[in-house]
Structure 1
């Protein structure tokens, strides 16, 4: 490392990607300073006190293919806290709870013809086996799926997922991006009929706090409740940041905050770069978490296709990670500009209570111990065909400045492991000029 060691480097954002950047920088002999606007580390993986239970605001799970995550656990001595569980999927369709997620369940699924089932199964199987995404990069996703599975299977099994997650953007998404989601779940299977997912004792907070402690132990700094107002650029070179305490000089800045924040934080970027960042669209989420006396179903993931429910599915988290009470996440995704995003929390809490009682009529009002709603404006980028071609490079045309968020590891969907892997590569890129593959 030689002359590269010991530079003053600011890292913006303490989500998994920002923590991974700082963690790798400290391993390489630097002492980064993380600036985080929130009062806790984690971003979308951050935990909160749910009436005595410390748990993530938004659900997370791990697949056996999450190599960057598993490698970091190993380095931090946390491997023994990782547990793998055989999980089940279900489908709520035509007011009926049906098994889902394996060939037998597909063949026995009620409400779909045999040819539609065979086409759907073939598409899922081949998607899991596919390794090259480039040929799907410029292809629109709904047309791609319809060509494979046909109109009937698309209407029953796919349409609501698109409509109740992406709304007006549903027919402008990249097939490569959707394919990567199919493949990730497919690769979590250890046989055609069995799915295995993982959880960490104590949830993501176990990893987040261990990463924070490792950064601080090597001289790095994590500043919470410290939003920066501007990255100062002069003559095409980073000079430092305007922090709550005033101007602080830095040799380099690595930003991992959501891209929509970049134009206001980096107003001195070249106009074409600012325009590219402003063009990135994001889906928002209102995620309701419910604590119950009894389970809703035996499934971890439940897809829903019900004209009376404006959700594509729900996650019964306690069917993966054992907890004293039963915990269910119900995410309502929508564009941030959609009027529904402005509705009060109670509207979403009432819907969730109604939906869960419809799926399991044995549930009573007294079985709902607590309900909370969390909101995240920039929950997920909307990846259009040719997504990466629209983004500026990670190493911007400014000396000492690197910018990325979860949009950049397209076609992979946002995930803790992907963020950690990308963040660690970003750190190496910033200090050793390593390349991040596009």
Structure 2
């Protein structure tokens, strides 16, 4: 069996290390942070253990269920009836089922019929190869119409992707619609899941299994370099230490790879460098009152500079209201450099505009999470731009969340890719 170094202890790195050690390999899991989990890690929010960035489970997330069953924690899975709303013209409108679509006041009858048909066909589609060459805007305008794109989608895409808004892949947005659209109890009722105790329940169960089977997890050990000898991996320098490795599985963000693996061919470095990412700043609020009856609310208002908010406590029952407000943006935007307090002040102001009954005294606490490489910018034919997972350096595999395309970032895809890479090592 091989000695394998896994770089990064987010969900994909954890899944890779767990599978590798289960197969009998010697495993070093190397992580820069003080705890495992990556974007699924928890933090202490005034006595509440909760995710840094919100997570939910869909009924199509079979890799998650399989690993939970293997770890003996599938009984921790919980399902909740949830809903989506659109905030526009000063009020929330329920969204996501046929009745809500028909009652929505800001689309024409033709627009509603075309939208309903496009969403239905999307949830029934086996794959999206036929629209791979299209942008999301082109696909939505062809299916639902330009007025529907302008009313429901334009503002959301501009506030998430900014200058890249008109270059986003149709396959990616269609796959997101299908994943959510098939996670239902009926045609009228969306149903999403959470893990009792939060994502930390799964993350820590994986870490415990790695240790129990003989793997070693090295925290606060940032990777410095992958050393190559005679065309294959030889060592990993991390945290001032040297780790011998016959195989390396890298799950760190792709923008870091060229620095960590200087021996890659230039043609591969160029491909990695061409993959664009945008960041996220995510204020998290603990409130005494509910903001809305929905789990997630899209916001379409020209004078509100957020695409939506997530009332997480409408999914996972908690003592207080927990709301995430994700600001996605390229890190070249001036707003990226705002202080945390500026984001908190602006976002809480938007909460009070959306629900004027919320008063300043209803704010219990607020924190801000930041991630520089949060969302790959998926363009049409994106998979053609990706280097293969197995690199020209023998024993070295490289992937991050952009490899899930056309799926979006998610724990289920992280588990699937991590296990696949471990089995190929």
- Shorter chain as normaliser: what TM range? over 0.9
**Are residue 365 (structure 1) and residue 360 (structure 2) matched?**
yes
Report the Cα distance in structure 2 between the residues aligned to 1:52 and 1:399, rounded to whole angstroms: 47
Report the Cα distance in structure 2 between the residues aligned to 1:256 and 1:85, rounded to whole angstroms: 31
CA deviation map 1:141-160 (0-9, x unaligned): 21111111111111111111
Match of residue 374 from structure 1: 369
Report the Cα distance in structure 1 between the residues aligned to 2:391 and 2:334, rounded to whole angstroms: 35
TM-score by length of 2: 0.99
Match of residue 394 from structure 2: 399
Report the Cα distance in structure 2 between the residues aligned to 1:40 and 1:111, rounded to whole angstroms: 46
Deviation at 1:283, TM superposition (A): 1.3
- 1:148-187 paired onto structure 2 within 5 Å: 148-187=143-182
The correspondence for 1:88, drawn from 68, 83, 86, is: 83
Report the Cα distance in structure 2 between the residues aligned to 1:236 and 1:393, rounded to whole angstroms: 17
Deviation at 1:47, TM superposition (A): 0.7
CA deviation map 1:373-399 (0-9, x unaligned): 111000011111111111111000111
- The SS at the match of 2:167 is coil
- Checking the alignment, whether the CA contact within 8 Å between 2:155 and 2:302 is kept in structure 1 is no
Match of residue 203 from structure 1: 198
- The SS at the match of 2:328 is strand
Match of residue 435 from structure 1: none
**Number of residue equivalences:** 425
**Are residue 73 (structure 1) and residue 71 (structure 2) matched?**
no
Deviation at 1:360, TM superposition (A): 1.0
- Checking the alignment, whether the CA contact within 8 Å between 2:33 and 2:221 is kept in structure 1 is yes
Report the Cα distance in structure 2 between the residues aligned to 1:13 and 1:146, rounded to whole angstroms: 40
TM-score by length of 1: 0.96
- 1:27-106 paired onto structure 2 within 5 Å: 27-106=22-101
Deviation at 1:201, TM superposition (A): 0.9
Which deviates further from its counterpart, 231-240 or 403-412? Answer: 231-240
**Are residue 246 (structure 1) and residue 241 (structure 2) matched?**
yes
Deviation at 1:344, TM superposition (A): 1.1
Report the Cα distance in structure 1 between the residues aligned to 2:139 and 2:106, rounded to whole angstroms: 23
- 1:403-418 paired onto structure 2 within 5 Å: 403-418=398-413
Runs in 1 of length 4+ with deviation above 6 angstroms? none
- The SS at the match of 1:119 is helix
Unaligned runs of 5+ in 2: none
Cα RMSD of the aligned pairs, angstroms, is 0.9
**Are residue 140 (structure 1) and residue 140 (structure 2) matched?**
no
- 1:186-265 paired onto structure 2 within 5 Å: 186-265=181-260
Which deviates further from its counterpart, 360-369 or 338-347? Answer: 338-347
Match of residue 306 from structure 2: 311
Match of residue 116 from structure 1: 111
- Checking the alignment, whether the CA contact within 8 Å between 1:31 and 1:218 is kept in structure 2 is no
**Are residue 131 (structure 1) and residue 126 (structure 2) matched?**
yes
The correspondence for 1:296, drawn from 282, 291, 306, is: 291
- The SS at the match of 1:14 is coil
- Checking the alignment, whether the CA contact within 8 Å between 2:279 and 2:331 is kept in structure 1 is yes
- Checking the alignment, whether the CA contact within 8 Å between 1:46 and 1:56 is kept in structure 2 is yes
